Amino acid sequence: MFGPEVCMSARTKPGIVSSIIDFEEGDSASVRLTVPVRQDQEEVLTRIVRAISQNRDRHHRRQRITKAAVIRAYIDALSSIPVDLRNISDESELLRRVMETFNNHSASLKRT
């Protein structure tokens, strides 16, 4: 889809995930994806990765946890929650629905 020159130029810009290549042997094949993010979103990812790295002992360091790993985990977690995707007009509406569904879903988990 995109040539190497596109990925190379994306690596120099802050807040862009230019590749997802930190899978261990045996995991399913990956797809390169360039995703522009806001500076605050990149900072959140950095804090999450740092917190994970600082809060695990040597027995739990088999795989390096990267920003891409956090993004993949979030995608997997969110894909398991049924969000109403009809008639979404923009990103803020999508976020509102995801948050609403997440809050409803987590509230129902607390009741069980």
| Secondary element (H or E) of residue 17 | strand 16-17
pLDDT number for residue 11: 39
Q: pLDDT digit of tens for each residue in the chain (112 aa)?
A: 333 333 333 334 445 544 444 444 446 778 888 999 999 999 999 999 999 999 988 888 888 899 999 999 999 998 988 999 999 999 999 999 999 998 988 777 777 6
pLDDT number for residue 112: 62
Rounded to whole angstroms, the Cα distance separating 13 from 9 reads 7
**Residues 6+ away with beta carbon under 8 Å from 7:** 18, 19, 32, 34
pLDDT number for residue 111: 72
